[in-house]
Amino acid sequence: MTNSCRLSHKKLANAGREYPVAILQAVESEIRSDLHSSFDEWISSSTTETERFKYSYLREELFSKYLDPSHAAGAHDREEAAIRKWQLAELRNEKTNVRLTCLEAQFGLRGKGDVFVSSDQLIDTARRYIVRVLGESPWVGPSGPSLDILLGTFTSGASTQFARGDGLVGKKFMEEAHATAPALPYVQLLRTYMEGWRRISDDVRGSPLSIEVVRGSVLFTVPKTSEIDRCACKEPGLNMFLQKGVGAFLRRRLRSVARLDLSDQTRNQNLARIGSLGSLATIDLSSASDTISNALVFRLLPSEWFHYLNAIRSQECCVNGEWVELSMFSSMGNAFTFELETLIFWALSHACKHHLGVRGTVSVYGDDIIVPVQCAGFLARCFSFFGFKVNPKKSYWSGPFRESCGKHWHKGTDVTPFYVREPITSLPRLIHFCNRLRLWAGQSGELDERVYPIWIKYARLVPRRLRGGTDLDSIGQLVSTERPDLRLVPMVRKYQKDEAGQYLHWLRAADGRARGPGLARGRSNSPILIIEGIVTSGNQAVGRGYKAVPSVDVGQHGRLFLAEEFPILSVVE
């Protein structure tokens, strides 16, 4: 590798406006070339096994999630590939439903001779763990579940009625809503309890909120890799509201009973470090949320819990215009899927550990599972019977490497790589690359002297006024020792939002706070006429445009520039 820049900053600046794409593709090509020639040198000069692994691992992972539009499969092909994968998961669920309904498996306990444990015994044990978290029933009387379980909220995510967008929460409170027929009794109960919502929405609209009954969710895809998209399901809006209530309740109970905090990944990350020293295994599942079968949830959850969750989920899904009855209990898009899968994997892991007679830590965050090494192989076999598939590329219970919740460890040392996920065709992407390289090469506190020549080479392509940052996650300011001046921020446009709906959202968020108003307590007595018909504005990101604003570190003396979307590296300092 040569330390001299073959594409000078002056050349880039002068040519940027005329040939921005070609010039920046040349920058990315040179980055790849420099890294390729440097990795062998870095690995050969490493003095420890962990250091060699760190460099080798980055070489393997750096571009593994790269989405190159010029070489990607067509949008239709990626979508079709994702749907085929989802349909294969559904076939797996169908088989699991039959297996769990009609069969009983026997699992031999290694090291215990001819001692076996049955699948029914594992389910019974896991069910006891689940009851400790949920309780036997969500009901507080014949009318329905407790308010802690019933009351959810809306989000800005897509639903069967609305596309994802800013200002959407208020619309969901105020406009016609979708719900499935099994969820309707709980929707009506919800409206009875949430007097504030009913009064405000009905008074502002001039008529009661109408509810349209729909059959279920709608399958859609989002970009994942160059070859395949990721499937998710848009749920009916009022079903999602109820699902959010269940999800929030599960989070609270998992935190207080199981000591699993689903707002914090650091516990799993720290346990993965301990595991890399030999005592704990890290296990990852393939398509975990899409392989939670109806029969497994029926067998594991107390009866009344199952019936409530079954009523508020989508039991059918529209796939390419055709309705199919779901064999999976919930998918990505259902607002309690993440919490439910965490609970199920935690309970099954404890059941396996219990029957093996093994002591040690169990921790679960979604489908990131940590168990004692002695449990890992047995757990993998049990998971297969229950319909899950352990991902062999991301599961580790031998050797010195472990990975969980985005942190990667080798013999107790952090070797987490960074990823180039998209072409470096803009200044923000170049800044992000330089900052992530600096973070990866400076985990000991100082930038590795072997990596410094590449870092400084491309850092010098960033305009001087955009240097001096301190946030290594930033895409708007390069982290360096220079005096900070300007930083890039996304360009936004104004959008209007319904004030009454936003007010309802605020009231819902205030429920349960000390002295706060609330929708569920009949305390929403603010004068309706003050907010009737009023709209306020917010900000929404516009495409991939950025503008430069004064850095917060140096006051407000900097001037604005780059106030339009730009393919960047076209600005002369």
SS3 of residue 116 by DSSP? strand
Could you tell me if 397 and 346 lie in one domain? Answer: yes
pLDDT, position 274 = 97
Six-digit token string for 6: 């073959």
Give the residue with greater pLDDT, 61 vs 143.
61
Q: What is the mean pLDDT of residues 65-77?
A: 75
For residue range 175-224, what is the model confidence (pLDDT) as tens digits? 788 999 999 999 988 888 877 777 776 666 666 778 899 999 999 998 88
Q: Which one of 460, 478, 496 terminates a domain? A: 478
Could you tell me if 439 and 368 lie in one domain? Answer: no
Could you tell me if 284 and 344 lie in one domain? Answer: yes
Integer distance in angstroms from the first to the last C-alpha of the chain? Answer: 27
Residue 249 falls within a domain, yes or no?
Answer: no
For residue range 452-501, what is the model confidence (pLDDT) as tens digits? 999 999 999 888 888 999 999 999 899 998 988 888 887 766 655 555 66
pLDDT for 526 beyond 70: no
Six-digit token string for 292: 């939670």
Q: Which one of 375, 408, 441 terminates a domain? A: 408
pLDDT for 164 beyond 80: no
Residue 453 falls within a domain, yes or no?
Answer: yes
For residue range 407-439, what is the model confidence (pLDDT) as tens digits? 999 999 999 999 998 888 888 899 999 999 999
Least confident span in 32-36, 244-248, 320-324, 440-444: 440-444
Could you tell me if 384 and 430 lie in one domain? Answer: no
What CATH number does the domain containing 382 carry? 3.30.70
DSSP 359-380: -S--EEETTEEEEEHHHHHHHH
Range of the domain at 121: 105-134+265-292+334-408
For residue range 265-313, what is the model confidence (pLDDT) as tens digits? 999 999 999 999 999 999 999 999 999 999 999 999 999 999 999 999 9
Could you tell me if 394 and 271 lie in one domain? Answer: yes
Q: What is the mean pLDDT of the chain?
A: 82
pLDDT, position 488 = 86
pLDDT, position 184 = 94
pLDDT, position 484 = 87
pLDDT, position 556 = 34
- Beta strand segments in 442-534, E: 467-469, 478-479, 486-498
Give the residue with greater pLDDT, 16 vs 131.
131
Q: What is the mean pLDDT of residues 139-165?
A: 80
Could you tell me if 354 and 467 lie in one domain? Answer: no
Task: Kindly tell me the sign of the dihedral angle through the C-alpha atoms of 556, 558, 559, 561.
Answer: negative
pLDDT, position 299 = 97
- Our count of domains for the chain comes to 2
Give the residue with greater pLDDT, 1 vs 331.
331
Residue 298 falls within a domain, yes or no?
Answer: no
pLDDT, position 501 = 62
For residue range 363-382, what is the model confidence (pLDDT) as tens digits? 999 999 999 999 999 999 99
Give the residue from 152, 193, 154 showing the smallest Cα distance to 177. Answer: 154
Could you tell me if 38 and 121 lie in one domain? Answer: no
pLDDT, position 521 = 42
For residue range 309-346, what is the model confidence (pLDDT) as tens digits? 999 999 999 999 999 999 999 989 999 999 999 999 99
Q: Which one of 478, 511, 527 terminates a domain? A: 478
Dist CA 484 CA 552 (whole Å): 9
For residue range 75-89, what is the model confidence (pLDDT) as tens digits? 788 899 999 999 999
Could you tell me if 19 and 36 lie in one domain? Answer: yes
Give the residue from 230, 235, 183, 173 showing the smallest Cα distance to 205. Answer: 173
Dist CA 84 CA 14 (whole Å): 48
Could you tell me if 394 and 448 lie in one domain? Answer: no
Q: What is the mean pLDDT of residues 547-569?
A: 42
Dist CA 153 CA 87 (whole Å): 30
**Percent of the chain whose predicted confidence (pLDDT) is above 90:** 56
pLDDT, position 144 = 73
Give the residue from 134, 179, 127, 172 showing the smallest Cα distance to 154. Answer: 172
Q: What is the mean pLDDT of residues 547-556?
A: 53
